[in-house]
């Protein structure tokens, strides 16, 4: 009997693992870090493709973190076609079908809906965990297991979309905040609460008040059923979803790439947090993730603070302006030389299959 229970448990977990998907968002420009990146690399480069400490870029650190709970084939990475020269190298070991190429930037809502819709077309029962690619996290194993617990909660409460929240240890501006309400229930000793209010990047005075009131920082990590996310977008953003319909209908067909190329640029520029999440508060829950150090590496001051706090360092010495100009010249020469090399990517940014 014990063996039968063990086999049944393994079969259930195997089935569950098949419905759990991850989306890594890497289509942004990272403009707030452009000065730091220039000093490190000598030329402009989107922050997600930069190695700021250790041996992996931010995007690959995120993928490695997510792969601790989600199968590699179920992790989609959303990239911007304008970043082709960066992701062709950084993602060269990723399965080609897991790279979702946006033809152009059209806001965070379009950047999220495209991979979520692709996942939903593949598996209508799927649960999706969405991760920005610029986070610094200590106690990674503990953190990512909280995300898995949140996905199990979503499986049992399929109409809810969960956000991961962190209790701040100091007052910080430039972040989103969540005011939690009543507790929905306790699951595996974790508390899931209703969301009473959002406050996206308030000024210093409001930030101090939110901190004093015990509000949580919004990590922008979202966990939900693909079906629920799509249904709520249809309901609350009808014009936006109407513009997406031709793309949605083409997914999984031979016309998919052409339709995305033609229609994605016509999508309204809609913000996922402000225009979507704030309008579906009754469908949201927040999980406060305890005993984990989390930081949004979107600003230089946070990066330098964290490196000093944990006795870490940049992978290379920050160079002077003269050195920057020398590297820009070298990068230009390298670009010319690379034009003569074999290219394993197609013109639309997708990778060729050898």
Rounded mean pLDDT, 328-339? 53
Backbone angles phi, psi at 137, to 5 degrees: -135, 125
pTM for the predicted model, two decimal places: 0.85
Residues 57/90, Cβ–Cβ less than 8 Å = yes
Task: Report residue 214 as tokens.
Answer: 């015990």
**Under 8 Å CB-to-CB from 103, ≥6 apart: which residues?**
81, 260, 261, 264, 265, 348
| Superfamily for domain range 16-158+220-279+290-338 | Spore Coat Polysaccharide Biosynthesis Protein SpsA; Chain A (3.90.550.10)
Report whether pLDDT(151) > 60: yes
Q: What are the domain boundaries of the chain?
A: 16-158+220-279+290-338
Report whether pLDDT(347) > 90: no
Q: How far is the CA of 179 from the CAs of 171, 193, 198, 294, in angstroms?
A: 15, 10, 6, 18
pLDDT digits (tens, 9 = 90+) for 180-217: 999 887 666 788 999 998 888 889 999 999 999 999 99
Residue of 313 and 350 predicted with greater confidence: 313
Q: How far is the CA of 216 from the CAs of 30, 200, 290, in angstroms?
A: 24, 12, 11
Please tell me the predicted confidence (pLDDT) of residue 202: 87
Residues 195/283, Cβ–Cβ less than 8 Å = no
Please tell me the predicted confidence (pLDDT) of residue 21: 98
Please tell me the predicted confidence (pLDDT) of residue 354: 46
pLDDT digits (tens, 9 = 90+) for 120-148: 999 999 999 999 999 999 999 999 999 99
Please tell me the predicted confidence (pLDDT) of residue 9: 44
pLDDT digits (tens, 9 = 90+) for 219-243: 999 999 999 999 999 999 999 999 9
Cα(72)–Cα(115) distance, integer angstroms: 15
Please tell me the predicted confidence (pLDDT) of residue 8: 44
> Three-class SS string for 256-318?
HHHHHHHHHHHCCCCCHHHHHHHHCHHHEEEEECCCCCEEECCCHHHHHHHHHHCCCCCCCCC
C-alpha neighbours within 13 Å on the C-beta side of residue 299: 9
Residues 49/91, Cβ–Cβ less than 8 Å = no
pLDDT digits (tens, 9 = 90+) for 230-288: 999 999 999 999 999 999 999 999 999 999 999 999 999 999 988 999 889 889 999 99
Question: Which of these, 225, 89, 93, lies nearest to 158 by C-alpha position?
Answer: 225
Question: Which of these, 58, 113, 54, 69, lies nearest to 316 by C-alpha position?
Answer: 54
Report whether pLDDT(349) > 60: no
Query: Where residue 23 falls among pLDDT bands split at 50, 70, 90?
Result: very high
Report whether pLDDT(50) > 60: yes
Q: How far apart are the first and last CA of the chain?
A: 49
Cα(225)–Cα(155) distance, integer angstroms: 8
Mean pLDDT, the chain, integer: 87
Task: Report residue 127 as tokens.
Answer: 């649960």
Cα(94)–Cα(243) distance, integer angstroms: 30
pLDDT digits (tens, 9 = 90+) for 297-329: 999 999 999 999 999 999 865 554 444 445 545
Please tell me the predicted confidence (pLDDT) of residue 315: 83
Rounded mean pLDDT, 4-17? 49
């Amino acid at each position: 009997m014990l063996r039968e229970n063990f086999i049944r448990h393994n079969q259930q977990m195997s089935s569950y693992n098949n419905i759990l998907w991850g989306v890594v968002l890497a289509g942004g420009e990272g403009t707030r870090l452009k000065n730091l990146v220039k000093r490190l690399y000598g030329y402009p480069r989107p922050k997600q493709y930069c190695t700021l400490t250790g041996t992996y870029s931010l995007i690959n650190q995120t993928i490695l973190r997510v792969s601790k709970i989600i199968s590699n084939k179920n992790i989609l990475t959303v990239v911007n076609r304008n970043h082709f020269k960066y992701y062709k190298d950084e993602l060269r070991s990723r399965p080609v079908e897991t790279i979702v190429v946006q033809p152009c930037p059209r806001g965070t809502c379009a950047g999220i809906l495209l991979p979520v819709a692709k996942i939903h077309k593949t598996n209508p029962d799927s649960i999706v965990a969405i991760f920005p690619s610029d986070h610094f996290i200590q106690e990674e194993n503990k953190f990512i297991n909280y995300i898995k617990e949140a996905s199990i909660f979503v499986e049992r409460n399929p109409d809810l979309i969960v956000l991961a929240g962190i209790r701040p240890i100091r007052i910080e501006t430039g972040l989103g905040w969540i005011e939690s309400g009543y507790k929905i229930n306790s699951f595996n000793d974790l508390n899931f609460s209703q969301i009473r209010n959002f406050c996206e990047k308030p000024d210093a005075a409001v930030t101090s008040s939110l901190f004093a009131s015990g509000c949580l920082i919004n990590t922008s990590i979202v966990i939900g059923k693909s079906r629920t996310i799509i249904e709520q977008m249809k309901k609350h953003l009808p014009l936006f979803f109407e513009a997406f319909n031709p793309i949605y209908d083409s997914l999984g067909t031979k016309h998919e790439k052409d339709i995305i190329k033609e229609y994605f640029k016509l999508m309204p520029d809609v913000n996922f947090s402000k225009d979507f999440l704030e309008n579906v508060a009754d469908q949201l829950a927040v999980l406060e993730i305890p005993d984990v150090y989390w930081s949004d590496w979107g600003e230089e001051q946070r990066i330098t603070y964290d490196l000093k706090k944990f006795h870490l360092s940049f992978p290379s010495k920050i160079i002077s302006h003269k050195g920057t100009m020398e590297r820009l010249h070298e990068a230009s020469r390298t670009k010319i030389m690379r034009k003569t090399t074999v290219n394993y990517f197609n013109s639309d940014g997708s990778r060729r299959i050898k």
